[in-house]
């Protein structure tokens, strides 16, 4: 159909388990200084211990704060967990959920990820939901089956209002930290398929308004090609987000 998408580009920097406190504050400050308008939604995801400090540095700037994970529980006897309410108090607007490193290295299940998505949204956070196939799955031609399972599982039971606070990040696992990047065509194909599943499950409004961003070895050089695709609505940036100039170049290329 002639769906007119009105999706704003979204670019997020996932710092992973990197930075000292001093580096985190300096990086946050440099990103805040470099993002002067809100043409592109920009967010940074520092490690848990630096959230409050980076939040202070971002105050008054258009750059949003996000956490790299969140508990599936609201409060209580869950040693080592961090609740959505705690994240909101540090100034977080977003939480990353289901990043492939947590799925494949930490062993998080689809059910657990769905539980986290519900808890985060109920408590008032917005969610960047990660999905993507492994190299073995792609080589066997199973990627569409994987996307379908991941969309169904992670989004089960969400209301329309909750869907308004979800960004989907497609990250082919074989492209994360490997320097291998999906071609713009591969990314477009994956994003279009995920959007078609959203359309089937949740209708046009949600399918057309949910941003689907690409992650996996994003650099200033490959951003323009990726962003020119009709269903690629931004980027989840790993390594290149640890240097303000390369991250800001990606933000600029997305806008």
Q: Where does the pLDDT of residue 3 fall: very low under 50, low under 70, confident under 90, or very high at 90 and above?
A: low
Give per-residue pLDDT as tens, 80-109: 999 999 999 999 999 999 999 999 999 999
Domain ranges, residue 205: 10-254
Give per-residue pLDDT as tens, 197-231: 999 999 999 999 999 999 999 999 999 999 999 99
Spatial contact of 16 and 230, defined as CB atoms under 8 Å apart = no
Spatial contact of 48 and 82, defined as CB atoms under 8 Å apart = yes
Is 224 among the domain residues?
yes
Is 164 among the domain residues?
yes
For the cut 60, the answer to whether the pLDDT of residue 51 exceeds it is: yes
Rg of the chain (C-alpha set) = 17
Is 5 among the domain residues?
no
Is 4 among the domain residues?
no
Catalytic (active-site) positions: 99, 171
Spatial contact of 44 and 18, defined as CB atoms under 8 Å apart = no
55 is in an annotated binding site: no
H/E segment holding residue 154: helix 143-155
177 is in an annotated binding site: yes
* pLDDT at residue 178, as a whole number: 87
pTM for the structure as a whole: 0.96
Is 89 among the domain residues?
yes
Is 2 among the domain residues?
no
Q: Region 7-34: what's the mean pLDDT?
A: 98
The structural domain count of the chain equals 1
174 is in an annotated binding site: no
* pLDDT at residue 139, as a whole number: 93
Is 119 among the domain residues?
yes
Q: What CATH number does the domain containing 233 carry?
A: 3.20.20.70
Percent pLDDT > 90 in the chain is: 95
Is 3 among the domain residues?
no
């Amino acid at each position: 159909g002639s769906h007119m998408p009105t999706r704003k580009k979204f670019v997020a920097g996932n710092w992973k388990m990197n930075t000292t406190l001093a580096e985190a504050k300096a990086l946050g400050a440099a990103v805040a200084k470099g993002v002067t308008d809100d043409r592109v939604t920009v967010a940074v995801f520092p490690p848990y211990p630096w959230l409050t400090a980076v939040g202070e540095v971002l105050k008054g700037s258009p750059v949003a704060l996000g956490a790299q994970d969140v508990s599936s529980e609201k409060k209580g006897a869950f040693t080592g967990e961090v609740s959505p309410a705690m994240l909101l108090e540090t100034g977080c607007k977003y939480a990353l959920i289901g990043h492939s490193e947590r799925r494949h290295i930490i062993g998080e299940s689809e059910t657990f990820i769905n539980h986290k998505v519900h808890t985060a949204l109920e408590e008032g956070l917005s969610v960047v939901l990660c999905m993507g196939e492994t190299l073995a799955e792609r080589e066997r031609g199973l990627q569409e089956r994987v996307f379908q399972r991941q969309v169904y599982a992670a989004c089960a039971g969400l209301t329309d209002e909750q869907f308004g606070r979800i960004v989907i990040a497609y990250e082919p696992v074989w492209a994360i930290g490997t320097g291998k990047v999906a071609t713009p065509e591969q990314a477009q194909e994956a994003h279009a398929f995920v959007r078609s599943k959203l359309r089937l499950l949740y209708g046009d409004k949600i399918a057309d308004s949910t941003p689907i961003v690409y992650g996996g070895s994003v650099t200033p050089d490959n951003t323009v090609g990726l962003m020119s695709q009709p269903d690629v609505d931004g980027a989840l940036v790993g390594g290149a987000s640890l240097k303000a100039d390369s991250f800001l170049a990606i933000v600029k290329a997305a806008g």
